[in-house]
Structure 1
Amino acid sequence: MKDTALNVVAIGIFIMTLSVLVGPMINLSPSIPAIATLSILGLLTFDTLGWENKGVNLFLDTLARFTPEHRERVLHHEAGHFLCAFYLGIPVQDYTLSAWEGLKRGISGVGGVEFDTTSFQKPLSPTEEQLLLDRFCTVWMAGIAAEQLAFDKVEGGGDDRQKITDALALFGQPSEKSPQKQQWGELQAKTLLERNWENYKNLVDAMRERKPVQECYQILGNG
Structure 2
Amino acid sequence: MASLYTLPQFHSPTHFSKPKTKLKKPIKIKSLKGWKEYDEAVKKKDLARALKFLKTTQTQQQAQQTQPSSSGLYMGNEDGLSFLGTGRDWEVLDACLNADDMKLVGNAYKFLQDRGFLPSFGITRNIVLEGSRDITPTALKSSTGLEASKLSPKKWGLSGSSSAVLVAFLGGTSYLISQGIDIRPNIAAVLGLAFLDSILLGGSCLAQISSYWPPYRRRILVHEAGHLLTGKYFTSNQAGTQFWDEKLENELADGRLSSASFDRYCMVLFAGIAAEALVYGEAEGGENDENLFRSICLLLQPPLPIAQMSNQARWAVLQSYNLLKWHRHVHLAAFKALESGDSLSAVIRKIEEAILENR
TM-score by length of 1: 0.65
Give the Å deviation of 1:134.
Answer: 0.3
- RMSD of aligned C-alpha atoms? 3.6
Spell out, residue by residue over 1:15-53, the C-alpha distance to the aligned partner (whole angstroms, 9 max, x if none): 9xx79xx88xx7x69xx5563344335545776788875
Q: Mapping of 1:61-76 within 5 angstroms?
A: 61-62=211-212, 65-67=213-215, 70-76=216-222
Greater CA radius of gyration, 1 or 2?
A: 2
Equivalent of residue 332 in structure 2, options 201, 205, 209: 201
| Residues 57 and 199 of structure 1, relative CA distance in 2, 3 Å threshold | closer
| Partner residue, 2:38 | none
Equivalent of residue 206 in structure 2, options 47, 52, 56: 56
- The question of 1:149 aligning with 2:273 is answered no
Q: Mapping of 1:111-150 within 5 angstroms?
A: 113-116=241-244, 119-120=248-249, 121-123=252-254, 125-126=256-257, 128=258, 130-150=259-279
| Partner residue, 1:102 | none
Equivalent of residue 323 in structure 2, options 168, 192, 207: 192
Q: Is the CA contact 2:225–2:338 (under 8 Å) kept in the aligned structure 1?
A: yes
Aligned residues: 187
Q: Distance in 2 between matches of 1:50 and 1:166?
A: 14
- The question of 1:218 aligning with 2:346 is answered no
- The question of 1:35 aligning with 2:185 is answered yes
Structure 2 stretches of 5 or more lacking a match?
A: 1-153
Seq. identity, %: 22
Equivalent of residue 159 in structure 1, options 288, 300, 309: 288
Spell out, residue by residue over 1:68-106, the C-alpha distance to the aligned partner (whole angstroms, 9 max, x if none): xx2222111111111111111x222212xxxxxxxxxxx
| Residues 193 and 92 of structure 1, relative CA distance in 2, 3 Å threshold | same
Q: Is the CA contact 2:275–2:321 (under 8 Å) kept in the aligned structure 1?
A: yes
Amino acid corresponding to residue 56 of structure 1 in structure 2: L
Structure 1 stretches of 5 or more lacking a match?
A: 96-112
Give the Å deviation of 1:174.
Answer: 2.2
Structure number with higher helix proportion: 1
The runs of 4+ residues in structure 1 deviating greater than 4 Å are 2-7, 41-55
